[in-house]
Amino acid sequence: MTLLEAAEKLGLKPVAGQSRLSRELDQGYVSDLLSDVMANAKPGDIWVTLQIHQNIIAVATLKELAGIILIGGRQPEKQTLAKAEVEQVPILLTDLPAFEVVGRLYQLGITGRR
């Protein structure tokens, strides 16, 4: 499944990094603690978080994550969007809470095995 297919199934709204939406997806990570993501996320993970500061783009780049889903109707800060465009890190928005997002991704076969 690609990031774009998952986004369509969950009704996520891509707002940055459009060129990387065709990336294949099979694993994910959820955390709002950036140091934890740096320590435990794996390359290719889709990251589910409520953090909207530009630091998330640096973490996603450092860890080569597939993209970031911002939950609960949160909007990325202006600088976050700008950095995401430059780095082509996909950002996807949803009104759903994290638990719902992760549950629905899991149903699509995207797991969190480490």
List residues near another protein by CB under 8 A.
34-35, 38, 53-55, 57-59, 61-62, 83, 87
User: Are the beta carbons of 91 and 76 closer than 8 angstroms?
Assistant: yes
> Shortest Cβ distance from residue 35 to another protein (Å)?
7
User: Are the beta carbons of 114 and 42 closer than 8 angstroms?
Assistant: yes
> 5 vs 87, which CB is nearer to another protein?
87
> 55 vs 107, which CB is nearer to another protein?
55
> 79 vs 111, which CB is nearer to another protein?
79
User: Are the beta carbons of 1 and 26 closer than 8 angstroms?
Assistant: yes
> 10 vs 98, which CB is nearer to another protein?
98
Q: Please provide the DSSP assignment of 34-87 as one string.
A: HHHHHHH--TT-EEEES--STHHHHHHHHTT-SEEEE-TT----HHHHHHHHHH
> Shortest Cβ distance from residue 9 to another protein (Å)?
31
> Shortest Cβ distance from residue 61 to another protein (Å)?
6
